[in-house]
Structure 1
Amino acid sequence: MSGLIGMESSATSVLRRAVDLDVSGRYQESLVCYQEGIDLLIQVSKATKDEAKKAHYRQKLLDYMDRAEKIKHQVLKEKEEGKYHKQIKILENSTGYSYENLFKPYINEMLTEVWVEDPYVRYVHQLYNFLRFCEMLIKGPSRVKKINLLTSRDEENGKDQQTGGLHEIKNSLFDYGVTLDVTFSNSIHDREIRFNNGWMIKIGRGLDYFKKPQGRFCIGYCDYDLRPCYETSVDIFHNNHTRKTRLMFLI
């Protein structure tokens, strides 16, 4: 019984999140939550013996599935027309914006190559940010085989720390069958991430939008969802042509 109650609570929480995202216009993200919540609610319905509750769950499922289908068609239409553009405002000190939460809606099995353009992958905390981003990619459901990083060199503090860190990340990714290709440019200013499944994400602060935790043993040190953020904006686009054309960085 406790297991069923826990599953129902999880389904309610995920679906509430889906509705909140839906209302705020973050349709791609809401669609992911609707799908996850619907799956959980189906399991709850199957495990419930009370017929009145079963009928209640069935109606809820029909409502959520109908809304999810409408969102799916809307997103697909915008993608087909190359008009998809959503913006997320990350407020100062807000939480809940880990790489998993931000990028998960745009990662699927068609994703095999990623391009990261970020001038500030230099210092230790920025190298850790990039490492966490890579970890998020290889956990799936993507089938990433290559990650391309375009960044600038750390001329002020010496190159050993930056070069050594990126070399370690490269070797570690190789163990997972992923190639890391690093290119340096001192004229780079833009920050954007491109997936070869058609998605492009531009973040005002790049990957470095998390604030420094108050200490090594403080909440948010390990879990980025609990870490406060700097204020920044995230622009998300979809272009069907990017899945067919390899992005070339101009150095």
Structure 2
Amino acid sequence: MAVSGDVTENLFDVSKRWLLKAVTFDSEDKLIAAFSCYKEGLDKLMEFLKTVPESEVAKRTAIRTRLVEYLGRAESLKKKLLASGQISPQSSEPKHTQYRIGEGETGYGYDRIFGDCLKDASVVWIRVEDPYIRKMYQLHFFLQFCELCASRCPGCLQEIHLVTGPDEADAAKQRQSLDLIAESLAERGIQLRLSLRDSLHDREVYFSNGWRVKIGRGLSLYRKLSRQLDLGTHDLSLRQCLETTVDIFHESILR
């Protein structure tokens, strides 16, 4: 399965897809994943409603009816999750963690950086914005990130969307490598979507549960190893870092 590219989809079709996933997860008692999908689907459906002209009364009424139905399901599910302690009421002080990593420091593997964003098993999509997922070592870092996400979110993660820059020196090799990662992810029910942007500069990872991670150096925040078989090849917590800053925060802190 090849990595999928940008496709302009009707917002209604997108919302329908998320809501169908929500119903499926709900029927399988995967309540946190279902709740997250309901939120995604309802957000897209509300966006779609804004595009429908006021003159199309019947269509707008049908959409509102669907919104009320699924909002009711989502609210009912939220009450169950709150009562069972699987989710907590939003804190009035949204969490913000910052790591100022010095040159050569160790102990900052992906699990430490991204682990808290993945721990509640409600992540259905992840968006990675990093302009430098081009060379083989950068692709290996991205693969290790995908491994963490797949292992921490089994059964709920549906999509990883990578936004990166094109490798002008060897675009075919970059695409071929990403296709291989896409095939591996697809075997676990996860779609890899690719967007290539020449002008991309910022490095940030977005999670569907509202968490965001900004890393000054992106996923490639580690020093080159000094030998071929070296500690830190697979366990990134043992690998020396480049100097950078990592900010981990919930999007509600921006409101």
Please give the TM-score of this superposition, normalised by the length of structure 1.
0.62
**Alpha-carbon shift at residue 222 of structure 1 (Å):** 2.3
Alignment match of 2:97 (pick from 82, 86, 96): 86
2:163 aligned with 1:153: no
Q: Following the alignment from structure 1 to structure 2, what is the Cα–Cα distance between the partners of residues 182 and 215? A: 32
**3-state SS, counterpart of residue 92 of structure 1:** coil
Summarize the Cα distance change of 1:82–1:166 in structure 2 as closer, same or farther, 3 Å threshold.
farther
2:226 aligned with 1:214: yes
Q: Following the alignment from structure 1 to structure 2, what is the Cα–Cα distance between the partners of residues 241 and 181? A: 28
Residue identity in the other structure for 1:122: R
Deviations 1:188-222 (A, max 9, x none): 10110010111000000000001111111122222
**Alpha-carbon shift at residue 106 of structure 1 (Å):** 1.7
Aligned position for 2:71: none
Aligned position for 1:106: 117
Of all paired residues, the percent bearing the same amino acid is 37
Q: Aligned runs of 1:37-186 on 2, under 5 Å?
A: 80-81=91-92, 83-107=94-118, 108-141=120-153, 143-155=156-168, 157-186=169-198
**Alpha-carbon shift at residue 80 of structure 1 (Å):** 3.8
Name the count of aligned residue pairs: 166
**Alpha-carbon shift at residue 171 of structure 1 (Å):** 0.9
Which consecutive unaligned segments of at least 5 residues does structure 2 have? 1-86
**3-state SS, counterpart of residue 149 of structure 1:** strand
2:191 aligned with 1:187: no
**3-state SS, counterpart of residue 162 of structure 2:** strand
Q: CA RMSD in A?
A: 2.2
Q: Is the 8 A contact 2:94 2:253 kept in 1?
A: no
Aligned position for 1:231: 243
Q: Following the alignment from structure 2 to structure 1, what is the Cα–Cα distance between the partners of residues 242 and 99? A: 13
**Alpha-carbon shift at residue 82 of structure 1 (Å):** 6.8
Q: Following the alignment from structure 2 to structure 1, what is the Cα–Cα distance between the partners of residues 173 and 246? A: 29
**Alpha-carbon shift at residue 84 of structure 1 (Å):** 3.2
Aligned position for 1:64: none
Q: Following the alignment from structure 1 to structure 2, what is the Cα–Cα distance between the partners of residues 222 and 178? A: 22
Residue identity in the other structure for 1:151: T
**3-state SS, counterpart of residue 180 of structure 1:** strand
Q: Is the 8 A contact 1:79 1:239 kept in 2?
A: no
Q: Following the alignment from structure 2 to structure 1, what is the Cα–Cα distance between the partners of residues 121 and 234? A: 27
Aligned position for 1:199: 211
Q: Following the alignment from structure 1 to structure 2, what is the Cα–Cα distance between the partners of residues 234 and 183? A: 24
Q: Following the alignment from structure 1 to structure 2, what is the Cα–Cα distance between the partners of residues 154 and 82? A: 41
**Alpha-carbon shift at residue 240 of structure 1 (Å):** 4.5
**Alpha-carbon shift at residue 87 of structure 1 (Å):** 1.1
Q: Is the 8 A contact 1:202 1:236 kept in 2?
A: yes
Please give the TM-score of this superposition, normalised by the length of structure 2.
0.61
Which gives a bigger RCO, structure 1 or 2 (Cα 8 Å, sep 6+)? Answer: 2
Residue identity in the other structure for 1:131: L
**Alpha-carbon shift at residue 131 of structure 1 (Å):** 0.4
Q: Is the 8 A contact 1:117 1:151 kept in 2?
A: yes
Deviates more, 1:216-225 or 1:91-100: 216-225
Q: Following the alignment from structure 2 to structure 1, what is the Cα–Cα distance between the partners of residues 90 and 220? A: 28
Q: Following the alignment from structure 2 to structure 1, what is the Cα–Cα distance between the partners of residues 219 and 140? A: 10
Which consecutive unaligned segments of at least 5 residues does structure 1 have? 1-75, 243-251
Q: Aligned runs of 1:20-31 on 2, under 5 Å?
A: none
**Alpha-carbon shift at residue 89 of structure 1 (Å):** 0.8
Q: Is the 8 A contact 1:113 1:144 kept in 2?
A: yes
